[in-house]
Amino acid sequence: MLLAAQPLAAQDDIDWNATPNDVNNLLKSMKEMIDVKYSVQVATLSEVAADPAKNPILYRSGHYNFSYSEGQRKRIREYCLAGGMIIYNTGLGSAPFYRSAVRELGLIFPEQPVQRLSSDHPIFHSYYDVDRVQYCPGVKASGFVGDEPWFDAVEINCRVVALVSRWGMSVGWEDNVLPEYQAYEPESAKKLGVNIFSYSSAMRAWAKSQAHAIKFVDKPESSANKVAMVQIVYDGVWKTRHAGLSVILQTFNMKTDVPVKFAIKELRLTDPEIFNAPLLYLTGHEHFTLKQSEAVQLKKYLENGGFLLAEACCGRKGFDLAFRNIMAALFPGSPMKAIPQDNAIFHMPNNVEKVGVTPVLQQALGMAVTRPKLEGVEVKGHVAVVYSPYGMAGGWEMSQSPYARGYDDVSCQRLGQNILMYSVTQ
C-alpha cells in the first residue's frame, strides 16, 4: 500500500493535490509494465501508521515552501529508521519545494547529509536501467545541462530512507507534459517510478531483518586500555554502515591472540590526534574530495608509518574513482596495484584463497566464487594503503545489502580479520 501524506490545512489542497491523478496513473502504468499492483491512500501525516509494513512508502508532492513541526520530524525519522521510505516530488521542478525538502531532511537526519545519487546507484537500475533520461526542454532552459537523473537522498546503512526528485515526475506519470515544464518526459518518469517501487520493496524486507540485530546509533563504550582506530570524517556521507567496524574489531579480538584491543574514534584528517592511531579507515558510496589541508595530513601520516584501510562500500563506482584519484595525486610515483595472492594478508589468521560474492557481483563477474581482490599503495618500502574495490562493511555486520557488489558475509569477516592482522604486524 502506498500512502500520500498531505498538508494538515485544508486550504493547502492546491499544493499537495496539484496533479490529482499522478500516483494513480503511475500505479496503473506499473500494472501494465511489470504486472505489480499497489494501492494508494490519502492521509495526513498524523494518520500515517508508524509501522512501515502497513504503508511502505510515503509520497509528498508540491510547489511551495513547507516546514514540519518537531513532532512531525520525529515521526518521519522513526518511520524511516524502522524500514519506511519517504519520497518528495517537486511539482514542475519547483525550487522552493525542493529547497524545503532538502532543508527538512537535514533537520530530520542531522548526522547523515542529503547527497545527490550518482547514476550507478541501484535505484536507477533496480528494474530498468535509467542512468540516462529524457527531460522536457524546460529543464535545460533552467540552466541544467545533462541527461542523468537527479535524485537527492538520505542513505542510512546503505539504504535510501528519503528521496527528493529535483525535477518533476508527476506530470510524466499523468502523460501531461508541456515543453516548458521542468520535468521528466513520460517514459523516463514512469521507469523511474517503477524503479523506486522495486528498490523500496527489495530493501524493505532486508531492513526489517537488519533492524532486529543492529541499532542505528551505537552506545559508546569505554576506550580505556584500547588503541584508537580512526574512521575518517570528510565532507559527504563518510559513515555508510553504523555497526560494521565495531563488529569486525570485536571478531578480530576474539579470533586472534594479538594483545591489541581497539576503540573507534571519528576524526577529520586535520585533527593531530590521527598520528596517535595505528590505523585509519575510509569508506563511502559516492564521489568525494579531500581539502588540501586534509590531503597533506593524510600523506604525512602515511609517510610516517601509518596504515590506511579503505573500501568502496557496496562496491560503488563513485567512491572507487574518487579514491583512486586521491591516491594518484598523493603518490604519483607509487601507483595502486593488486596485492599478490601469496601475501600474508590473505593467509593470516585465515587462509583466504577463495571468497564468495554477493548475487549482484556474481552477475557482474559471471562466477559465485573468486579470488579475493585487494589493492595496495607502497610508501617508503611498505604497503601503507590497503583498498578493497568491493564492499565489506555490510558483510562485517553479516547483512550485505541486496544491491551490494561485494563479498559474502563470511568472506568479509575472514578477509577483514586478515587486514587487521596485517596492519598490526607489518
Tell me the domains of the chain and their CATH numbers: 2-211 (3.40.50.12140), 227-425 (3.40.50.12140)
Residue 347 exposed, middle or buried by CB count within 10 Å (0-12, 13-18, 19+):
middle
Q: Is the peptide bond before 402 cis (omega within 30 degrees of 0)?
A: no
> For residues 204 and 126, is the Cβ–Cβ distance under 8 A?
no
> For residues 362 and 319, is the Cβ–Cβ distance under 8 A?
no
Q: What is the distance between the alpha carbons of residues 324 and 138, in angstroms, rounded to a whole number? A: 37
H-run or E-run covering 308: strand 308-312
Tens of each residue's pLDDT in the chain, 426 residues: 444 444 333 334 445 555 656 666 676 666 666 666 666 667 778 888 778 888 888 999 899 999 999 999 999 999 999 889 999 999 999 999 999 999 999 999 999 999 999 999 999 999 999 999 999 999 999 999 999 999 999 999 999 999 999 999 999 998 889 999 999 999 999 999 999 988 988 888 787 666 544 444 344 455 545 667 899 999 999 999 988 888 888 888 888 877 666 788 999 999 999 999 999 999 999 999 999 999 999 999 999 999 999 999 999 999 999 999 999 999 999 999 999 999 999 999 999 999 999 999 999 999 999 999 999 999 998 999 999 999 999 999 998 999 999 999 999 999 999 999 999 887
Q: Rounded to the nearest 5 degrees, what angle is found at the Cα of 287, between the Cα atoms of 286 and 289?
A: 135
Q: What is the distance between the alpha carbons of residues 419 and 94, in angstroms, rounded to a whole number? A: 48
Q: What is the distance between the alpha carbons of residues 169 and 51, in angstroms, rounded to a whole number? A: 27
C-alpha cell at 53: 509494513
Count of C-beta atoms within a 10 Å radius of residue 97: 24
Q: Residue type at 104?
A: E
Nearest to 157 by CA among 278, 246, 70, 240: 240
Q: What is the distance between the alpha carbons of residues 368 and 381, in angstroms, rounded to a whole number? A: 35
pTM of the shown model: 0.87
